[in-house]
Amino acid sequence: MNIKWNANMYTENFSFVHQYGNSVIELIDADRGSSVLDLGCGNGALTNALKDKGYLAKGLDASGELLNIAKEKYPDIDFMQGDAVDFMLSEPVDVVFSNAVFHWIDKSRQQDMLKCVYNALKKNGQFVFEFGGHGNNQKIHDALTEIFSEYGYCYEMPFYFPTIGEYSTMLESAGFQVQYAVLFDRLTDLKGENGLKDWINMFVKKPFLIVKTEQEKIEIVDKAVKALRNDLLINEKWYADYVRIRMKAVRL
């Protein structure tokens, strides 16, 4: 799903997205100088981290807004604009890496994405990634579902959050061998006194397309934040109830 990002706000207020991705890089078992594609590279922070590890890193993302920031901050890295479900590389790479991307892709397009990744990898190449897993942000989505209903709307889940079993089966069907898989809770602190409100406005966009007025949207978000205070406001700090799926697979 391609969305228009507020790239500067994303970079300033939601840096935790790429900061958590640094630990995902540790799953890569490849020699220095190996070629790595950062799929869904966003503002390029993790592409640069891969470069600092000694890899020949390049990034691909669908967002022109985020790529503009990436190219400005890291001019010595090759960044390309493209869709994760429909891309081709001029030559295959040793590793495809991705962080916090695949939950944006509809379930019906996951196999298209996996086929592109398979074709982008050398034989025995590594596929290392993390994204939202089963139960991710369940409290937030449940609250929004209830309040949407109060306003006469049906809340459409905008993300794909699979179980390990479901996604392992997809990977195997695409020609990969799964070597590592874990699903884990990660309560994630949000920046500022309006942290949860800002998070909803930044990441939950598609469901609000059916909301008729801007005033209704504001009211729905405010009511959701109020409903979540007991669960997600801890010691005067907002959190999001993240659940992540982290995996490593090899192209056979």
Of 1, 206, 221, 20, which is closest to residue 103 (Cα–Cα)? 1
146-196 pLDDT, tens digit each: 999 999 999 999 999 999 999 999 999 999 999 999 999 999 999 999 999
- Local confidence band at 22 (pLDDT 50, 70, 90 cut-offs): confident
Which pLDDT tens digit goes with each residue over 116-156? Answer: 999 999 999 999 999 999 999 999 999 999 999 999 999 99
Eight-state DSSP code of residue 43: T
Please state, in angstroms and rounded to a whole number, the distance separating the CA atoms of residues 239 and 232: 5
Task: Collapse the DSSP code of 249 into the 3-class scheme (helix H, G, I; strand E, B; otherwise coil) and give the result.
Answer: strand
- Closest CA relative to residue 140, chosen from 125, 157, 126: 157
Q: Which domains does the chain have, with CATH numbers?
A: 7-251 (3.40.50.150)
Tokens (6 digits) for 13:
């207020």
SS3 per-residue string spanning 77-136: CEEEECECCECCCCCCEEEEEEECCHHHCCHHHHHHHHHHHHHHEEEEEEEEEEEECCCC
